[in-house]
Amino acid sequence: MAGNSIGKEFVATSFGESHGRIVGIIIDGCPSGLELAEADIQAEVDRRIPKQPKIVSGRIEKDKVQILSGVFNGFTTGAPITITVANKDLNSSDYEAMKDLPRPGHADYTARVKYGGFNDYRGGGRFSGRITVALVMAGAVAKKLLNLFQVDVFAYAKAIGNVKLDKSLDYEVVRSRRFTTSVRCPDEECAAKMEKAIIEARTEGDSLGGIVEIIAANVPTGIGEPLFDALDADLAKILFSLPAVKGVEFGAGFKAATLKGSQNNDAYQLLDGRVISSTNNHGGVLGGISSGMPIVIRIAIKPTPSIAKEQQTVALSTMENATLKVVGRHDPCIVPKAVPAAESAAAITLADHMIRAGYIPKVLKEQK
């Protein structure tokens, strides 16, 4: 299956299926000399799934991270790094009926056509949100690398269904509080409303979507390779690769289309000898190159396709119209789990571009 690798210098290759033996990632091109332990990656994986059982799928994998290659004596060697977790909490029988009755909104039908029915459909196979655990593992390595150069990437839930966080919060508040609520919204009052909305949708046998905002702070000016490897293009590519992402916007995004140039342009000014802009409608990228302002991206997440309500579908074996009520364990809203996946995805692409631009050397330090 082509299309499983991303990046040019920091290349992450994803493997595994939802109900197969393992899910993992191979990172090729990580500089040598990065201090890296399983515990670093485990910490990111542990916060992938919110602890509030009412807002997540009943499938709770007790993921134990294993680094199988590329790390020696506690440091990356420069060789490919293989990181895995095992799949254990499986209910594959839930998917037998769906083999014939493709779920509306999921990839069951398109995957069946593309792979002639040989794809592993159990748990959604390669098209499951479970696959994002591999991105979180690669993201943990990318974040460690970026942090050495003071680049910080963090995301939070900005909206769930019709509940929106309208307050603008200080980035430090977002960074430090984003994982303190189950829905990953740093504002407790708004988070409580979001949680309530998810529980209500679930009770009705339905699901909700929402918006995740991603911020990358302290990205140096001048990162990005236009035309086709523009920084915003590559960030959009990895974010659109996350299952259920239906929109990506930078800065003012689609709203910019309604503004006048005089309103949308971000005026430059000097601050301690540095060129900054007084506003950030451009979202930190101009001409595909980082401007030095925070990179601000929002992604739209659709409502979870697998819902308990009855839906119309087609029985593929008989080619007759049919109805389907999806059984099994599903997230009533993908947004809380998408927060760590989105920040990891953005970190992978930023690490790749910082290596390409020469900001991160291939050898981080010499062995004594």
Q: Does 331 bind ligand FMN (CB under 6 A)?
A: yes
Structure tokens at 2: 């082509």
| Residue 91: CB atoms within 10 Å | 14
In which residue are the tokens 């040598």 written?
Answer: 32
Q: Does 334 bind ligand FMN (CB under 6 A)?
A: yes
Per CB under 6 A, the segment of 2-10, 183-191, 312-320, 330-338 that binds ligand FMN is 330-338
Say which residues have a Cβ less than 8 Å from residue 257's Cβ, sequence separation at least 6: none
Per CB under 6 A, the segment of 185-193, 241-249, 257-265, 266-274 that binds ligand FMN is 241-249
Contact of 337 with 59, CB cutoff 8 Å:
no
Strand order in the sheet with 163-164: 163-164, 152-160, 210-217, 295-301, 245-250
Choose between 81 and 98: whose C-beta lies nearer to ligand FMN: 98
Closest by CA position to 81, among listed 128, 123, 144, 156 = 144
Q: Does 106 bind ligand FMN (CB under 6 A)?
A: yes
Q: Does 14 bind ligand FMN (CB under 6 A)?
A: no
Contact of 343 with 153, CB cutoff 8 Å:
yes
Q: Is 276 exposed, middle or buried (0-12, 13-18, 19+ CB in 10 A)?
A: middle
Per CB under 6 A, the segment of 74-82, 127-135, 137-145, 314-322 that binds ligand FMN is 127-135
CB of 136 to ligand FMN, least distance (A): 9
Q: Does 95 bind ligand FMN (CB under 6 A)?
A: no
Q: Does 127 bind ligand FMN (CB under 6 A)?
A: yes
Q: Does 304 bind ligand FMN (CB under 6 A)?
A: yes
CA distance 26 to 93: 30
Q: Does 306 bind ligand FMN (CB under 6 A)?
A: yes
Per CB under 6 A, the segment of 93-101, 151-159, 273-281, 335-343 that binds ligand FMN is 335-343
Closest by CA position to 84, among listed 98, 70, 96 = 70
Q: Does 244 bind ligand FMN (CB under 6 A)?
A: yes
Among 143, 330, 353, 356, binds ligand FMN (CB under 6 A): 330
Judged by the rule CB under 6 A, the positions of this chain that interact with ligand FMN are 57, 106-107, 124, 127-129, 132, 242-244, 302, 304-306, 330-331, 334, 337-338, 341
